Structure 1
Amino acid sequence: MTARPSALLDDLDTALLAMAPIRRRILAALVEPASAAGLAEQLDMPRQKIGHHLRALETAGLVRLAGERKKRGFTERLFVAAGQYVLDPALLQSPPAPDAVEAQDRHAADHLISTASAMVRDVARMRQAAEAEGARLLTLTVEADVSFATPADFDAFTEEVAEAVAALARKYSAASGRRYRLTAAAHPAVAKAALTRN
């Protein structure tokens, strides 16, 4: 199976192009490399219509050429879709107010959303670059569920986490080497019943 890199949708026109129903069907069908003729048969659509959409998807970088093959005297181009599409959350957000950015209230939900959005965008871009170089992007994800009996417990936990992160940052602060961004975040857990419904 052809390797399928990820793709970051950080342009509104490209995102809208990818979300069009017909093009979503084409992208879903391109899990394995296929030609326009093969897609036309698989999706029961005219070959010319598939070709039109494939050209648009290729121009936008949403599919890529996976190879060519000879068939009945013709050369067919084979396309494959990305393995995963990541929508840049910034496309759906209003720019934050300058004073809000400066304040960086660590208890503000808006700041958490903004930080998480930037993380999604930055990691997706770096993963694309690493895939293009045939390299692996080294990341770390740590998750845990905690419970607080009182708001005071939450405040105390917040201070302990902040102190622990600051201490680790001081310990691992080499003058040279690859810099990493560590983000510690906490939010109310989604109820299990809600997860089951979804």
Structure 2
Amino acid sequence: MTPRPSALLDDQDAAHLALAPIRRRILAALAEPASAAGLAERLGMPRQKIGYHLRALETAGLVRPAGERRKRGFTEKLFVAAGAFVLDPALLQAPPDPDAVDAQDRHASGHLIAAASAMVRDVARMRDVAAAEGSRLLTLTVEADVSFAEPADFDAFSDELAEAVATLARRYAAPSGRRFRLIAAGHPAVKRPTPVKN
């Protein structure tokens, strides 16, 4: 089965639609293509009510048609939900301070969150455009765990990483090439529970 694309929720109304309990049940049930009648039977709800919510979800771009099938002499329209929903972090943030200086402190957690939020929004939108064009969005993700014995080691690592990235950026700076945005970020690792040995 072809992987289902994700949907970026960058509109307040669409986010409310997706988060409403009854519609969350419908979206979860549409992991596989289904008709309004099939959903009504599965969720124990009137078909008319399911149809109403399906129309709202389709208008908002949260479900899409997935073909048709014949059943008991009738043609049923099938729907499928997005594979995942990405909530645009900007919907939950206060408007940026126009007097703030961008990236004034590379160690500020607020700047990391703002950069990560912008990346989530931009990549989700570009992926949707690429999917509509039938192409693949070229991206890069590098992850690593590091540890520091002393606070000064963190500062030294930050300086070395910044210099290494700057050196690479200068090497790959073709004036007519396609621009890419590189974000190097670090945060304390989340502690994972220790597996219990039998």
TM bucket normalised to smaller = over 0.9
Unaligned regions of 5+ residues in structure 1, if any?
none
- 1:61 maps to 61
- The TM-score normalised by the length of structure 1 is 0.93
- Structure holding more helix per residue: 1
Who is 2:11 aligned against?
11
Percentage of identical aligned residues: 79
- Give the superposition deviation at 1:2: 5.2
Q: For 1:119-162, what per-residue CA distance to the aligned partner results, in whole angstroms no more than 9, with x for missing partners?
A: 00001111111111111111111111111122211111111001
Matched, 1:105 2:101: no
Measure the CA separation in 2 of the matches of 1:75 and 1:2.
23
8 Å Cα contact 2:6-2:83 kept in structure 1: yes
Q: CA deviation at 1:189?
A: 1.1
Counterpart residue number, 1:169: 169
Q: Deviations over 1:21-40 (max 9, x none)?
A: 11011111111111100110
Q: What SS does structure 2 have at the residue aligned with 1:70?
A: strand
More off after superposition, 149-158 vs 115-124: 149-158
Any gaps of 5 or more consecutive residues in structure 2? Answer: none
CA distance in 2, matches of 1:54, 1:163: 52
Partners of 2:103 and 2:111 within 8 A in 1: no
1:71 partner letter: K
Match of 1:90 in 2: 90
1:190 aligns with 2:190: yes
Aligned length: 195
Is 1:180 paired with 2:186?
no
Query: Counterpart in 1 of 2:76?
Result: 76
What is the CA-CA distance between 1:83 and the residue it aligns to?
A: 1.0
Aligned to 2:130: 130
- Distance in 1 (alpha carbons) for counterparts of 2:101 and 2:187: 20
CA displacement at 1:5 relative to structure 2 = 1.5
2: CA distance between counterparts of 1:178 and 1:103? Answer: 24
Q: Distance in 1 between matches of 2:191 and 2:61?
A: 38
Cα 1:59–1:42 shift into 2, 3 Å: same
TM-score between the two structures when normalised by the length of structure 2: 0.93
* Deviations 1:145-188, CA, capped at 9 Å, x for gaps: 11112221111111100100000000001121211001011111
User: Aligned AA for 1:65?
Assistant: P
Q: Pairwise CA RMSD of aligned residues?
A: 1.7
Q: Which portions of structure 1, spanning 4 or more consecutive aligned residues, are displaced by more than 4 angstroms?
A: none
